């Protein structure tokens, strides 16, 4: 059923108020076309200030002119910058929204993680697949902590990745744990690197000689 013009006017009256409607009624009675056009443009400027949220929409100026045309009962005859329309789109039924038909297997990870795992299974390069597993593992561990407010071990994360991917994604658990690959801010790897550098420097004979010479100079 199509909404009547009076119904559309009532809707717009609530947005702009009775005074604007009275101005519209006055403009429609002005005999001079040029004067009607001038007054209509002034009223459009006023309507833009009264309805500022329209500025965030596309073609808001055209919508304002359409509002003015509807409030005049579709009788406004002016030199408008746009083709005036009675806005039949007000009668269109809203498009139905699409809801997800499937729920994620692990709610604390969400549907997007399952999509990422699915994309990772499509990777053929071993290094890219390993990097994808590490990135997904970090994300899953962060999501789990924010959802459950407790820690989770790497073997559980890796097991969930295997389960979601139907066994297509897998890594060495010992390698993951020793390098803290599933941690967002790993510290173990840096400590290992620094300790390794210290050991290598102490074992280097050149460093020993330089240390001895520096000690002798100090003496």
**pLDDT 10s digits, 20-60:** 888 999 999 999 999 999 999 999 999 888 888 878 777 88
pLDDT digits (tens, 9 = 90+) for 76-115: 899 999 888 776 545 555 567 777 667 778 888 888 899 9
Task: Give the pLDDT of residue 88.
Answer: 55
- Cα torsion 38, 41, 46, 51 to 10°: value is 160
Where is 35: in which H helix or E strand?
helix 33-50
d(CA 116, CA 111): 9
Q: Where are the domains of the chain?
A: 5-91, 100-186
pTM tops 0.75: no
Task: Give the pLDDT of residue 9.
Answer: 65
């Amino acid at each position: 059923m199509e909404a009547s013009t009076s119904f559309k006017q009532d809707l717009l009256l609530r947005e702009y108020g009775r005074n604007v409607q009275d101005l519209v009624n006055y403009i429609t009675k002005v005999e001079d076309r040029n004067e009607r056009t001038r007054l209509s443009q002034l009223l459009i400027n006023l309507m833009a200030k009264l309805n500022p949220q329209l500025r965030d929409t596309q073609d808001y100026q055209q919508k304002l002119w359409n509002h003015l045309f509807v409030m005049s009962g579709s009788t406004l005859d002016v030199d408008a910058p746009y083709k005036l329309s009675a806005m039949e789109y007000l009668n269109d039924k809203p498009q139905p929204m699409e809801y997800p038909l499937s729920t994620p297997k692990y709610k604390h990870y969400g549907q997007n993680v399952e999509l990422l795992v699915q994309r990772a299974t499509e990777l053929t390069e071993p290094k890219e697949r390993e990097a994808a597993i590490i990135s997904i593992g970090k994300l899953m561990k962060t999501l789990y902590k924010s959802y459950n407010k407790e820690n989770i071990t790497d073997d559980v994360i890796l097991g969930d990745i295997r389960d979601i991917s139907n066994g297509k994604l897998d890594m060495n658990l010992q390698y993951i744990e020793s390098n803290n690959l599933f941690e967002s801010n790993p510290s173990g790897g840096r400590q290992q690197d620094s300790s390794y550098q210290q050991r290598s420097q102490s074992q280097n004979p050149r460093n020993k000689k330089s240390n001895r010479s520096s000690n002798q100079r100090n003496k």
